[in-house]
Amino acid sequence: MTNGSPTLLDLFSGGGGISHGFEAAGFRVLGGVDFDADAVETFRRNHTAARVVCADLSTLRPNDLASELDLKAGTIDCMVGGPPCQGFSRNRAFRHQGGEFIDDPRNHLYKRFFDFVDHLRPKTVVIENVPEILVKNKGFFGTTVKARFHRLGYSAESKVLNAAHFGVPQRRRRAIFLAGRDNAQLDFPEPTHRLGPRPGRRTPQSKLILEPEQTDLYPALATSPTVWDAIGDLHGAYAETLDGDSRYAKPPQSDYQVSRRASATRVSNHFPWPLTERQLARVRLLREGEGHAHLPDHLRVKNGYGSAYRRMQANAQALTLTTWLFHPGSGMFTHPKDDRIVTIREAARLQSFQDSFGFTGRYHSQCRQLGNSVAPLVARAIALSVRSALGIKPNQ
């Protein structure tokens, strides 16, 4: 440990959302590893003191990474990783035989993660993934992960966390594994917010009704921000190109906007991506909360599902942002007031990135980086729990 700061190594790092949150909790990021060149460049841009490696972790040897980053076994305070989860997504089934997953090669990458745990022996480990991995096939995956941790001398627990419980204006659920070496126990963070309003749907009489909030176990906490709490100050001023920047359209209108701006004076990644004529014809007809089911027959999406072409609601929370947020037909990604999808910066706000965090690469790549990210405010809450387990007090 250097300068009294706990250290972090980020594998399958993507653009660095987890590291962004851990840095906010006082961790020093030693390095990040990912095979996506655009994501690696984003990580490098935002974590300038870290060493970044663009490599395929399915073939990279742990001792080679240790040598390149000058890492010694047993010295890293925390190692985090989000092995690709597409093989476990809600829209896919998976099978296993003799304890091995067989339907999707990406499902095997978690085993490579454990090769690095075994070689580097970090004091604590965090794994994040889609929540479905804890319930499919009677929880086989979760049981397997915990057994592997146990064989390596770690105590591990898992839990599904909802980002909205940590002040994120998005109902985004992720499965989290926390593990401590030498069977040290780690506690999951306690929520800081109660769930905000759920997006509603329009009735046949065109009245928008917010869906009843699900019972929340934390009624005394502050309500998590809404979409407009997150992005209202960005509405009205935009960059002229994908790589350009713009001024802030309005002064901050909520505490959340103040916290996301911090010291930023200009807005990056705030370019309204143009829709096709057919996409535009659809979104022009939709009001807040409406989706493909409200379109006329000649514009309705074939085999569309509930959130296809659905417009966000300013006074409710966002639904999960995915890697397909560039396509209005793939989810609730349409701006609540304008006839467009949300910009990269607006999506980043809805994920709880600070405005100083910039994304690189082509537009679809930036969408992929955002959709794969852990919300930084959730990562920060986890990091504070890890600090506590390590016996390191939070920064004052």
User: What pTM did the predictor assign?
Assistant: 0.91
Q: Tell me, what's the pLDDT at 236?
A: 95
| Residue pLDDT, tens place only, 35-63 | 999 999 999 999 999 999 999 999 999 99
Domain that holds residue 149: 7-193+375-390
Instruction: Examine residue 380 and state whether it is found in any structural domain, yes or no.
Output: yes
Q: Tell me, what's the pLDDT at 92?
A: 44
Residue 391's SS3 state is coil
Instruction: Examine residue 222 and state whether it is found in any structural domain, yes or no.
Output: no
Instruction: Examine residue 344 and state whether it is found in any structural domain, yes or no.
Output: no
- One DSSP character per residue, 99-118 reads TEE-S-GGGGHHHHHHHHHH
Q: Which positions of the chain have pLDDT values less than 70?
A: 1-3, 85-108, 202-215, 394-396
Instruction: Examine residue 179 and state whether it is found in any structural domain, yes or no.
Output: yes
Q: How far is CA 156 from the centre of its chain?
A: 22
Instruction: Examine residue 165 and state whether it is found in any structural domain, yes or no.
Output: yes
| Residue pLDDT, tens place only, 194-230 | 998 888 876 666 666 666 555 677 888 999 999 999 9
Number of domains in the chain: 1
**Rounded-to-10 torsion of CA 186, 6, 154, 20:** 70
Please identify which residue in the block is written with the tokens 């960059």: 239
Strands (E), the chain: 7-11, 28-34, 51-54, 78-81, 96-97, 100-101, 124-129, 154-162, 170-171, 173-181, 193-194, 201-202, 208-209, 222-223, 245-246, 267-268, 318-319
Instruction: Examine residue 138 and state whether it is found in any structural domain, yes or no.
Output: yes
Listed in sequence order, the DSSP H helices in 26-161 are 37-46, 62-69, 109-120, 140-151
Q: Would you call 229 exposed, middle or buried from its count of C-beta atoms within 10 A (0-12, 13-18, 19+)?
A: buried
Overall size of the chain counted in residues: 396
Instruction: Examine residue 323 and state whether it is found in any structural domain, yes or no.
Output: no
CATH number, domain of 57, equals 3.40.50.150
Instruction: Examine residue 355 and state whether it is found in any structural domain, yes or no.
Output: no
